[in-house]
Every structure is written in C-alpha cells, then in structure tokens.
A = this chain, B = another copy of it.
Amino acid sequence: MKNKKIEILLVEDDPNLSMLLEDYLEMLDYKVTLCSDGEEGWNCFTQNPFDLCILDVMMPKKDGFTLADQIREKDKHIPVIFLTAKSLKEDRIKGFKIGCDDYITKPFSTEELSLRIQAILKRSKTGIVHIEVDQQETYHFGSFIFDYTNMLLKSKKENQKLTKKEAHLLKLLCLNKNKLIRREQILETIWGENDYFFGRSMDVFITKLRKYIKEDNAVQITNVHGTGFKLEIED
C-alpha cells in the first residue's frame, strides 16, 4: 500500500503548457492524467480515482471553476489547484480557498508548482494512504530535477545516476546557482584539501557534469579563468 504513485488529474487546454507540465509532473514521480477541456476532465474524474486536481480556470466548454464545483459534489475533500491568468478577478478564487485548495497565477515556475503540490498534499493527506512523507533533498534547475538523496539527475529523457563525488559537486553548484564558486572553496568543501592534483580531478568531474546537463541549452557550467565555476541558468 505504499510507494504507489500519487495520481493527478491535469486539465489544461493549452497543449504546449499541458505537455510541459505532464512531463514535469511525471519527473516528480506523479501519475498524470491529462485532459484538454472541462468535459473531458469531468469524464476522467468520474472514471478514475485521483489524489489531486490541477485545473486551468479559462477553458472552452467548461471552465475550471464549474468543473471544480462538479468535482466537489462528488468528493468534498479532494485538493484542487487552479491555474489562473494574472489579470483574473480573484473573487471566485477566494471563495474556493476555504477548501483544501490553492491557486497559482501564470506564468509560474515548475518549482513553484512543485512546492504548492507538496504543500497541498501535506495539508490534506487525510485519506491518502500511500503518501511518502520522507524529506527528499532535491534541486530544480533548468529542465532538470536533481534528486540528491537518491543521487539521480532527472530529465525528460532519462534518469542519470550520479556517483557520490558527482552528486556532491552538483549539489554545491546548485546551492550556488548563478553564483561564482571559487576553486579553492570547492576543493576544500568536497576534497578537504586544495592541491594541484585534486584540482585536476575536479576539472574532470566538471566535464562529466557538463555532459549530463548538455541536453538543456539554458543551463551551463561556466568557468571564470583562474577563479572558479558557476552554474548558470537562463530564465
């Protein structure tokens, strides 16, 4: 009864966003069912059990609020996250916020969504038996999710296993995202000592990490000559 994936119903009509979110949520180990409008969403909901719904508010045929009303008739406690445009009046959202609900305004970062999901599941975990509560140490950058606890670098394409040193180095870079870390600081933190050979070793690991992250062009490990390295993420 444990280790079963949490099931998310995602109803979103914009195909670009929905595909992106689906991929991303699956990287986070959720089981995602994707629907592209409110009616389809309602059909799905009646036919399968879900732990969480993520509903776009603005949709053709049936908007997110109407769908949420229906869903609530059937299941009073299932948590819902609304995706709304920034300009939207928030009267209705406020009404909903009484329940185990939340909303997130577009555009949002994937990390932000991840945090909201965790929060809402935590709050309302009544009834979900198979939830995993263990605190994982994860870092999000670019299109990657770096699961330090399990030494996995997850991307859409694959899960790259990391060695201890690789993971440690990547963690250090993540903790200093977009900031320069000096060579000596890396060496002292990870190798405990700063000499020529450890320095060369570090360079080898930087090469390895660069290979792992090269599939995302928005992310790179840059060198500042004579000084150190930086994990650069373009927004």
Write 11 A-B pairs (CB below 8 A) sorted by A numbering.
A1-B115, A3-B174, A3-B175, A3-B177, A3-B178, A4-B111, A46-B90, A47-B86, A48-B86, A150-B179, A151-B227
0/1 per residue, A110-124, Cβ < 8 Å to B?
A: 011001000000000
The number of times this chain is found in the oligomer is 2
Report the interface size for chain A: residues with CB under 8 A from the other chain.
32
Min distance, Cβ A222 to any Cβ of chain B, angstroms = 9
- Label chain A's interface by main secondary structure: loop
CB contacts under 8 Å to B, within A1-45, are 1-4
Is B47 a contact partner of A90 (Cβ separation < 8 A)? Answer: yes
0/1 per residue, A133-160, Cβ < 8 Å to B?
A: 0100000000000000111000000000
Is A180 a contact partner of B224 (Cβ separation < 8 A)? Answer: no
Q: Which residue from chain B places its CB closest to the CB of A138 in the assembled complex?
A: B1
Residues of chain B within 8 A (CB-CB) of A111 are 4
Is B180 a contact partner of A105 (Cβ separation < 8 A)? Answer: no
Min distance, Cβ A45 to any Cβ of chain B, angstroms = 11
Is A180 a contact partner of B150 (Cβ separation < 8 A)? Answer: yes
The CA-CA distance from A235 to B235 in the complex, in Å, is: 33
* Contacts from A to B (Cβ < 8 Å): 1-4, 46-48, 86, 88, 90, 105, 111-112, 115, 134, 149-151, 161, 163-164, 174-175, 177-180, 224-227, 230
Residues of chain B within 8 A (CB-CB) of A177 are 3
Select A161's contact among B105, B151, B224, beta carbons within 8 Å.
B224
Residues of chain B within 8 A (CB-CB) of A105 are 47-48
The CA-CA distance from A170 to B48 in the complex, in Å, is: 32
The CA-CA distance from A38 to B111 in the complex, in Å, is: 30
The CA-CA distance from A111 to B225 in the complex, in Å, is: 29
Is B48 a contact partner of A164 (Cβ separation < 8 A)? Answer: no
Select A230's contact among B90, B134, B150, beta carbons within 8 Å.
B150
The CA-CA distance from A207 to B161 in the complex, in Å, is: 22
Residues of chain B within 8 A (CB-CB) of A134 are 179
Is A227 a contact partner of B46 (Cβ separation < 8 A)? Answer: no
